Amino acid sequence: MRLFLATTAPQRQKTGCAIVGLHEGGGLTTSAAALDTALKGRLTRLLKRGDLRGKSGELRLLDIEGAPCERVLIVGLGKPGSFGRKQYRKALVVAVAAVTRTGARDAVSYLAEALATPDAYYDARLAAEAVGAALYRVPAIRSTRKPPQPALQAFGVTVASGGQKAAAQRGLEQGLAIAAGAALTRDLANLPANVCTPGYLAQQARELARSYKSVRTQVLEERDLKRLKMGSFLSVTNGTDEPAKLIVMRYNGGRAGQAPVALVGKGVTFDSGGISLKQPPGMDEMKFDMTGAASVLGAIKAAAEMGLKLNVVGIVPACENMPSGRATKPGDIVRSMSGQTIEVINTDAEGRLILCDALTYARRFKPAAVVDIATLTGACVIALGGHLTAVMSNDDELAGELTAAGLRAEDRCWHMPMAEEYHEQLKSNFADFANACGRDGGAITAACFLAKFTDGLRWAHLDIAGTAYLTGSHKGSTGRPVPLLMDFLIGRS
Ligand code: BES
Ligand code: MN
Ligand code: ZN
């Protein structure tokens, strides 16, 4: 797909499809009005007949003869004033999906002009991300032949402030890179656990190093983890035959010697719960328990694609959590790489057990900041639902940076508290502390556990259990929080 910045007015634009907006109540946007005039009042006639109301998500495709554009797609924008960037992204996704069902080989969107507070860079970037999301197809494994590719090959984006061409162009390019990163994240997360194993994730990380000169990948094997004394990480992988990996990717886009940002992603390729076995309903969704890892690979890819001027190190502890005769048992005590001992109260609280050793490992890179990303707790889904990611941190400034990045990227997160009282819940009679406790405040106590491994680091934790994937009939990875992470990294470059 080729994306380009379009500047020609719709009535003069030669294209397979012009995409214009209509406000609820029948207010034509500037571009729709211009087209209407060129089409001798055809759109206003449609409106008079009551065929179109401009409700959010409403679509109407018109075949045109005698105009430079072959089709017009009218998109309902909802009530005037309610059209923000979130609605803009949604409108673009449904519009692109509609265009791909036609034979149009190219299309141009005029939707950005309806935004109340235009921003050339962010409007263009979000458009590129939306087009990428609309064209994404899950890596389905079916016996029947794949559906034919859409004819659409080029997509034009307009921005409201036509004067800021350079900013819009940069937005488009960075948006394309973010879309490519998010697509990798979604592919990896959507693959079943019998394909996407720790070894597969390691291969994909090596693939990144092959594709981009700026990326170097190193994969540590179980014998290396033993040498590093990662007793906590290794205790999770005891029950499976699938070898665990610690994947380290270095993206070098900043100056040599600049302290990197470390991204640490939970890579549990399947979480059965281990001996503390989960209930069957929804257990298939635990193939998504490596989405944190997938978002780290996606962010590294996006950084390399856009040539981000920053050093980033991606660290992914990858393993399966399975029950067996060799599996870790509730009550077992393990020693983490940090030396601290952990009583494994619940083998289903495995994410923190692999992340704590990865966080300790991250220290050797002397990172400017460490952000871990994990589908860590069901409690987070209870607290924030599927809309916002939780952020917890030992540094309010860093948490603020992430919250602001999420707002700008339309990939929001919410700062949750971490106080001493919560730490008390993790007390153990037999080890330094426990890996699990009562259900109350579960997302926060999980963060408190991780905090015990972050002394002296500027660290934040993103719990993406609610936002990483959708369930039900739209089951699948969302690609979050790649847009948030990239906005955060761009802000630091
Ligand atoms: N991977 C799960 C968390 C999860 C649950 C993600 C639901 C997405 C949807 C994690 O490993 C887990 O099982 N956490 C436990 C922790 C508890 C045992 C302290 C949980 O949330 O129940
Ligand atoms: Mn678990
Ligand atoms: Zn898990």
Q: Could you report the per-residue pLDDT of 297-356, keeping only the tens digit for each?
A: 999 999 999 999 999 999 999 999 999 999 999 999 999 999 999 999 999 999 999 999
Closest ligand 1 atom number to CA of residue 442 = 19
Ligand 1 neighbourhood includes 295 CB (under 6 angstroms): no
Percent with pLDDT over 90 in the chain: 93
Max Cα–Cα distance, the chain, nearest Å: 82
pLDDT at 31: 96
Q: Which residue of 348, 350, 463, 464 sits with most ligand 1 atoms within 8 Å of its CB, as the best mutation to test the pocket? A: 348
CA 427 to ligand 1 centroid distance, Å: 20
Ligand 1 neighbourhood includes 283 CB (under 6 angstroms): no
pLDDT at 487: 98
Q: What is the three-state SS of the chain?
A: CEEEECCCCCCCCCECCEEEEECCCCCECHHHHHHHHHCCCHHHHHHHCCCCCCCCCCEEEEECCCCCECEEEEEECCCCCCCCHHHHHHHHHHHHHHHHCCCCCEEEECCHHHCCCCCHHHHHHHHHHHHHHHHCCCCCCCCCCCCCCCCCCEEEECCCCCCCHHHHHHHHHHHHHHHHHHHHHHHHHHCCCCCCCHHHHHHHHHHHHHHCCCEEEEEECHHHHHHCCCHHHHHHHCCCCCCCEEEEEEEECCCCCCCCEEEEECEEEEECCCCCCCCCCCHHHHHHHHHHHHHHHHHHHHHHHHCCCCEEEEEEEEEEECCCCCCCCCCCEEECCCCCEEECCCCCCCHHHHHHHHHHHHHHHCCCEEEEEECCCHHHHHHHCCCCEEEEECCHHHHHHHHHHHHHCCCCEEECCCCHHHHHCCCCCCCCEECCCCCCCHHHHHHHHHHCCCCCCCEEEEECCCCCEECHHHCEECCCCHHHHHHHHHHHC
CA 200 to ligand 2 centroid distance, Å: 21
Ligand 1 neighbourhood includes 468 CB (under 6 angstroms): no
Question: What digits encode the pLDDT tens for the residues 467-484?
Answer: 999 999 999 999 999 999
Closest ligand 1 atom number to CA of residue 380 = 21
Residues, beta carbon < 5 Å, ion ligand 2: 271, 348, 350
Closest ligand 1 atom number to CA of residue 268 = 1
Report the alpha-carbon distance of residue 296 to residue 303 in Å, rounded. 10
Closest ligand 1 atom number to CA of residue 278 = 13
- Give me the active site residues, please: 278, 352
Q: Which range, of 40-44, 143-147, 378-382, 414-418, averages the lowest pLDDT?
A: 143-147
CA 164 to ligand 3 centroid distance, Å: 45
In single-letter form, the type of residue at position 56 comes to S
CA 142 to ligand 3 centroid distance, Å: 28
* Ligand sitting nearest the alpha carbon of 283: 1
Ligand 1 neighbourhood includes 351 CB (under 6 angstroms): yes
Say if CB 297 and CB 482 are below 8 A apart.
Answer: no
Question: What digits encode the pLDDT tens for the residues 63-105?
Answer: 988 789 999 999 999 998 899 999 999 999 999 999 999 999 9
Q: Which residue has a Cα nearest atom 3 of ligand 1?
A: 377
Question: What digits encode the pLDDT tens for the residues 201-255?
Answer: 999 999 999 999 999 999 999 999 999 999 999 999 999 999 999 999 999 999 9
CA 325 to ligand 2 centroid distance, Å: 18
Ligand 1 neighbourhood includes 348 CB (under 6 angstroms): yes
Report the alpha-carbon distance of residue 306 to residue 210 in Å, rounded. 16
